[in-house]
């Protein structure tokens, strides 16, 4: 019987977005017979899990979050991300990426979790302990689905413990609840669930992906962090949402700044650390910093799927990520589309091997840089030894570590030589080698090159591809393997903690303690050793913490919510994406391919998908608008509640 349950759980976690029960109508799911048997009761619980969004697909087919920031872009056309980055979507926009996956499905999950919570005690074949445990899992999932709604839409329709049919005509009387009301309730639910859920190791590897105490605490900590950040904590004095009220006249947003919210967020993050159930993957015994970091990062991302750092994961097949990240036509006889591309900005964000940032942080954060200007000499930190001129022979350090027998040296532009280990674990560039198991290939991302633009949209518009979660010891000809998508991991909790701590106690020793733990794992020197002037300076530490987060958490679907809740997107996401000049017919050393160009500039010719032009971000873009179909069903979600968006 236990093996049967494991198979059922894996069918939920590893299969498509359809659930084990094929999402039958509620009247079928709530028949008396459902709660008579242990098997059918558990199937219902797995159905509650099945509404968890699939974050492993960065291609924009399911969600636009990955591609609607300044770290990734894409060549695939006619997807929702094109509308988001160019500010051309509206409440009338249709599509699963806008309404179904991030909104409707979350409310279905909330309703089914409530049904389960109200009925699980009726199952005579479950012990009292099992009833408590399974109810806590559903309680966690319901809170998690609210968290997912809130970080996209802000204050939303809220039902608490009430069983509401969100598809019913009676929903027309519903209304949004204030942000703080929902935050307080969700945190209470997570506290209650955490007190009854098992610890990190209780489920075992076969059940990886089920709720734990740490998972509940991580959702709470991240929600409280978002709540402390400017968007939901006084709006940086912009007053954007000051007059947004529900029909009862309640203000929906926190309109004044409250420093204590940072303290609450820091305490929630520290509580996870103090569990001592999780540990950074930092156990390599290699003496060389590059090799040590490569081993650590390999173990974190691909080698040990159930590693000590993962707090809450989505268990999926790795095909959704790999098929769009691996260069097109790189391995004979194997499918790959290679169209999801890191931007020049994320390439620039990584430090040099000595830990100094090539582009000074005070310039990196400017509107001038975001608008796509070439980097002036004055913005380059000479201590980083960075230069965009010249080239030398080098083996890509990732392949040199994991596949030394097959890794070979290539002439490499100096801008990619001498960078920090995280750069090499995340980025691949043109005219270098690609290794999969015993098969190798040369990456050529220029026009007419093997993996470049020519007759399809399966190419990198920037001349870069992401390596995160790619295991070069395996060939995708033999299957895609699995991925443990890190919804929450300890490295992210460290960053949550030090960010919150800095805002009310910038001299606290824990800031540098946990910050430098991350840097040690990554093979770079301590931040205060390199930049002693930032120590205790709230504003400077904030800038460098944000940059550390951009690097450490890249491609993990964090950047979208970071730029918005920090309220920096009005600068960071207004302007052209920059990349290499892929329209050139060669990527030879010192050729024009290596010139920075604005992707989407009509005179350049290549855009993101089918759209040319800059990224455009307005204040209204900090949150998604409510879809017109939802406004028609729920009149309270009207234009005054849909800040800045025109509704019919």
Per-residue confidence (pLDDT) for residue 82, from 0 to 100: 94
Q: Return all residues near 157 (Cβ < 8 A) that are at least 6 apart.
A: 107, 166, 171, 174, 175, 176, 177, 634, 637
Question: Contact at 8 Å (CB) between 208 and 314?
Answer: no
The CA distance from 221 to 270, in Å, is: 9
Count the neighbouring beta carbons within 10 Å of the beta carbon of residue 191. Answer: 14
Nearest to 159 by CA among 140, 182, 141: 182
Each residue's pLDDT tens digit, 546-590:
999 999 999 999 999 999 999 999 999 999 999 999 999 999 999
3-state helix, strand, coil in the chain (%, to 5): 45, 10, 45
**Mean pLDDT (the chain, rounded):** 91
Tokens 């674990």 sit on residue: 425
DSSP lists the bridge partners of residue 608 as: 611
Confidence bin at 203 (pLDDT 50/70/90): confident
Per-residue confidence (pLDDT) for residue 639, from 0 to 100: 61
What pairing do the DSSP bridges indicate for beta strands 391-394 and 410-413? antiparallel
The CA distance from 630 to 409, in Å, is: 56
**Between helices 260-274 and 490-504, what is the axis angle to 10°?**
150
Confidence bin at 25 (pLDDT 50/70/90): very low
Rounded percentage of the chain residues whose pLDDT exceeds 70: 94
Exposed/middle/buried for 382, CB within 10 Å: 0-12, 13-18, 19+? exposed
pTM assigned to the model: 0.94
DSSP lists the bridge partners of residue 73 as: 341
Helix (H, G, I), strand (E, B) or coil at 641: helix
Cα-Cα-Cα-Cα dihedral sign, residues 367, 368, 372, 377: negative
How large is the average pLDDT for residues 134-161? Answer: 97
Q: What Rg value do the Cα atoms of the chain yield, rounded?
A: 24
Structure tokens at 179: 């942000």
How large is the average pLDDT for residues 134-146? Answer: 98
The CA distance from 505 to 541, in Å, is: 11
DSSP 8-state assignment for residue 157: B
Nearest to 547 by CA among 281, 368, 365: 365
The CA distance from 497 to 266, in Å, is: 5
Per-residue confidence (pLDDT) for residue 208, from 0 to 100: 76
Dihedrals phi, psi of 121, to nearest 5 degrees: -65, -15
The CA distance from 318 to 373, in Å, is: 36
Using alpha carbons only, what angle is made at residue 71 by residues 468 and 380, rounded to the nearest 5 degrees? 105
Each residue's pLDDT tens digit, 183-197:
999 999 999 999 999
Per-residue confidence (pLDDT) for residue 303, from 0 to 100: 64
Count the neighbouring beta carbons within 10 Å of the beta carbon of residue 40. Answer: 16
Residue 182 has pLDDT above 90, yes or no: yes
Structure tokens at 505: 């106690």
**CB neighbour burial string for 603-629, b if at least 16 within 10 angstroms, e if fewer:** ebebbbbeebbbbebeeebbbbbbbbe
Per-residue confidence (pLDDT) for residue 96, from 0 to 100: 86
């Amino acid at each position: 019987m236990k093996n049967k349950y494991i198979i059922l759980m894996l069918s939920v976690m590893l299969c498509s977005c359809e659930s084990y029960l094929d999402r039958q109508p509620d009247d079928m799911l709530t028949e008396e017979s459902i709660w008579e048997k242990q098997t059918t009761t558990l199937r219902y619980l797995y159905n509650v899990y099945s509404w968890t969004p699939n974050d492993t697909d960065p291609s924009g087919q399911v969600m636009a979050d990955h591609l609607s920031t300044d770290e990734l872009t894409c060549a695939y056309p006619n997807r929702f991300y094109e509308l988001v980055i160019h500010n051309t979507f509206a409440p009338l926009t249709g599509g699963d990426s806008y309404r179904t996956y991030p909104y409707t499905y979350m409310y279905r999950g909330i309703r089914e979790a409530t049904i389960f919570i109200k009925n699980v005690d009726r199952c005579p074949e479950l012990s009292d302990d099992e009833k408590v445990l399974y109810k806590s899992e559903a309680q966690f999932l319901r809170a998690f689905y609210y968290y997912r709604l809130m970080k996209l839409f802000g204050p939303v329709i809220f039902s608490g413990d009430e069983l509401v049919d969100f598809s019913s005509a009676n929903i027309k009387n519903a209304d949004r609840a204030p942000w703080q009301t929902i935050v307080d309730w969700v945190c209470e639910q997570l506290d209650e669930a955490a007190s009854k859920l098992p610890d990190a190791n209780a489920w075992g590897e076969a059940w990886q992906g089920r709720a734990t105490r740490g998972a509940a605490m991580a959702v709470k900590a991240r929600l409280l962090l978002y709540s402390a950040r400017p968007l939901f904590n006084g709006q940086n004095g912009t007053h954007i949402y000051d007059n947004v009220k529900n029909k009862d006249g309640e203000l929906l947003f926190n309109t004044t700044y409250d420093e204590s919210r940072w303290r609450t967020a820091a305490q929630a993050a520290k509580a996870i650390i103090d569990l001592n159930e999780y540990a950074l993957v930092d156990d390599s015994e290699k003496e060389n910093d590059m090799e040590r970091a490569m081993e650590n990062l390999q173990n974190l991302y691909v080698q040990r799927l159930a590693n000590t750092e993962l707090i809450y994961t989505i268990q999926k097949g790795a095909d959704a990520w790999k098929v769009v990240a691996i260069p097109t036509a790189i391995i004979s006889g194997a499918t790959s589309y290679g169209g999801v591309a890191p931007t020049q900005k994320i390439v620039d964000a990584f430090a040099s091997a000595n830990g100094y940032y090539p582009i000074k942080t005070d310039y990196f954060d400017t509107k001038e840089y975001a608008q796509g200007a070439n980097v002036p000499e004055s913005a380059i930190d000479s201590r980083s030894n960075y230069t965009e001129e010249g080239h030398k022979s080098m083996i890509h350090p990732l392949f040199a570590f994991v596949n030394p027998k097959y890794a070979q040296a290539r002439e490499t532009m100096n801008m990619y030589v001498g960078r920090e280990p995280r750069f090499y674990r995340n980025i691949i560039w043109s005219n270098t080698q690609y290794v999969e198991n015993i098969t190798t290939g040369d990456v050529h991302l220029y026009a007419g090159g093997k993996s470049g633009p020519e007759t399809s949209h399966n190419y990198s518009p920037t001349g870069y591809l992401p390596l995160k979660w790619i295991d070069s010891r395996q060939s995708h000809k033999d299957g895609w393997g699995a991925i443990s998508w890190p919804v929450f991991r300890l490295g992210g909790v460290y960053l949550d903690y030090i960010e919150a701590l800095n805002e009310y106690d910038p001299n606290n020793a824990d800031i540098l303690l946990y910050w430098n733990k991350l840097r040690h794992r990554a093979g770079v020197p301590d931040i205060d050793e390199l930049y002693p002037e930032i120590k205790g300076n709230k504003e400077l530490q904030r800038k460098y913490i944000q940059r550390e987060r951009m690097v450490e958490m890249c491609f993990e679907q964090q950047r979208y919510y970071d730029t918005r809740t920090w309220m920096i997107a009005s600068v960071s996401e207004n302007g052209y994406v920059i990349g290499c000049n892929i329209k050139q017919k060669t990527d030879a050393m010192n050729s024009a391919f290596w010139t920075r160009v604005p992707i989407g500039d009509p005179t350049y010719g290549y855009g993101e998908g089918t759209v040319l032009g800059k990224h455009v971000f307005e204040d209204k873009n900090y949150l998604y608008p409510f879809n017109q179909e939802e406004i028609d069903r729920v009149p309270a979600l009207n234009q005054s509640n849909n800040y800045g968006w025109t509704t019919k």
